[in-house]
Amino acid sequence: MAKTDSIDGSGFPLGFKFRQGRARSPLVSGANGRDVFKVEARQLVGHQKEAVVTEGASGSSWRLVCDEGKHLKATDLAPFPLGYFNAGLQADLVNRILSLARARSILLESLDVELQNFYYMTGAFFRGDGKGYAEPAKVKVIIGSAAPKEAIAALVRAAVAASPALAAMRNAVENTFAIYVNGRRREVTTMKNSPAPDAADPLKTYSAAPSPLAGSNDLPDLVRKTGELREGTVTEAPAGTTTRIIRTVDGTCRLLDPAGVTETDTVLGLPGMSHFALKSDERGATGGGAVPDQGPTGLTLLSAGIAFCYMTQLARYIEHMKFKIRQVRLVQFNPYTLQGSAADGSARGSIEPVDTHLFLHGEESDETHEKLMRIAATTCYLHATLGSALEPEVSIEVNGAALAA
């Protein structure tokens, strides 16, 4: 790979706007409808990954990079996949709380969210029987407001129901897959086959690595490594386990701008892990409105996390099995919907099956390429999340006092 095919080789920020859209996705502003967020991702060196996420039919495109920690012998230069997912959940929930508060004329003096995700794996890569699992997230919403406590409790309940991001946990879906080996689409025989037409190979779509959009007014430090570390010494992750070891992801989201700009600090709950901060812009103005989109949305971060997590499992299995497979890239389509009214509490967010198109080059057989695709999906924590109905455990704190959700 060229020097620019690494996170630090390009000299670019970890996150930036790549292409300006015509208007923000209607899902951002709370309008009813359906929109498909597209992720075009590729493997860089080691566990480093790069994605361009396009926010629906009319939205902007954002370039984001991902890495793993030193427990996976990676370089720890960018957020880990589960951190993107954690930040996306929180940012989208904040969006729904703010949107519903405006619709109900509830003044919020402060708003913070704390969210923990829990994952575990059984089996082992080398035996091919590894399987990833997810458990319900714990969400704590912290609000300062003079509004009645009953109104705040109803507001949070409605926001949870209205969040398409949280629907990625609440609603179980059966995802679909397509595979392209050495430039030709092959039939998927052991997973649910994608009904979609051929996707465009990112290797052909992009003649050069994505670079920042000239003149873009991005928020500063959209994605950054904070420098904070969890206590303890990093230990290498095993390729398999005979016990149920829970992996926790901790995140704290705060409002930088009450109109809808957030920053989430997230960290993997293992000794020695780095903290990363990811910003989102949940303001719903169109490209021609008063407020431009200056950062990705929570749904963008969430979509990137799903693709990145799957690609980590691909890379780990290729490395472990020493497969002659290279140039890993994918196109992933993430359909989100929102229906109902924010004012009366009937708003419901949802997610439809995620459609993954995997592109590979290699000397292995078609069966081996599909085995790789299947085992990566089986061990991917976020595909396990999408395939399970995991109702989040929500608690509320108002003006410093706990409140029943």
The residues spanned by each domain of the chain are 15-38+52-403
CA atoms within 13 A on the CB side of 209: 20
pLDDT digits (tens, 9 = 90+) for 236-251: 877 666 567 789 999 9
Per residue in 77-130, pLDDT (tens digit) is 999 999 999 999 999 999 999 999 999 999 999 999 999 999 998 887 667 788
Tally the residues of the chain.
405
Q: Are strands 176-181 and 355-362 parallel, antiparallel or unpaired?
A: parallel
**Within 10 Å of residue 131's Cβ, how many Cβ atoms?**
14
What is the β-pairing status of strands 325-339 and 274-281?
unpaired
At 358 the three-state DSSP class reads strand
Query: What is the Cα gyration radius of the chain?
Result: 20
Distances from the Cα of 137 to the Cα of 114, 143, 217, 262, angstroms: 10, 19, 34, 20
pLDDT at 343: 78
**How confident is the model at residue 109, as a pLDDT?**
97
- What's residue 240's pLDDT? 62
Is the separation of the CB atoms in 303 and 39 below 8 Å? yes
Contact present, 18 and 33 (Cβ < 8 Å): no
Task: Report the pLDDT value the prediction gives residue 2, as an integer from 0 to 100.
Answer: 44
Token output for 216: 């873009």
Q: How is domain 15-38+52-403 classified at the architecture level of CATH?
A: 2-Layer Sandwich (3.30)
DSSP E strand boundaries for 108-153:
110-124, 131-144
How much of the chain is in helix, strand and coil states, percent to nearest 5?
A: 25, 35, 40
* Residue 4 confidence (pLDDT): 56
At 26, give phi and psi (nearest 5°): -60, -25
What pLDDT is attached to residue 348? 96
| Strand pairing class (184-186; 176-181) | antiparallel
- Residues 357 and 171 sit within 8 Å (Cβ to Cβ): no
CA–CA separation, 398 and 405 (whole Å)? 11
CA triple 162-166-169, angle to 5 deg:
135
Q: Which of 307, 40, 359, 12 is nearest to 3 (CA)?
A: 12
> Cβ contacts of residue 382 below 8 Å, gap of 6+?
81, 82, 85, 134, 305, 306, 309, 310
Q: Could you tell me whether strands 61-66 and 223-229 are parallel, antiparallel, or unpaired per DSSP bridges?
A: unpaired
Q: Helix, strand or coil for residue 303?
A: helix
Tokens coding 388? 């399970």
Q: How far apart are CA 47 and CA 361, in angstroms?
A: 18
Q: What pLDDT tens digit does each residue of the chain (405 aa) get?
A: 344 589 998 899 999 999 999 999 999 988 999 999 999 999 999 999 999 999 999 999 999 999 999 998 899 999 999 999 999 999 999 999 999 999 999 999 999 999 999 999 888 766 778 899 999 999 999 999 999 999 999 999 999 999 999 999 999 999 999 999 999 999 999 999 999 999 999 999 998 999 999 999 999 999 999 999 999 998 887 766 656 778 999 999 999 999 999 999 999 999 999 999 999 999 985 444 545 799 999 999 999 999 999 999 999 999 888 999 999 999 999 999 999 987 788 999 999 999 999 999 999 999 999 999 999 999 999 999 999 999 999 999 999 999 865
- Residue 345 confidence (pLDDT): 83
Residues 328, 203: Cα–Cα separation, whole Å:
10
Ramachandran quadrant class, 150 (left: phi over 0; alpha: psi -120 to 50; beta: rest): alpha
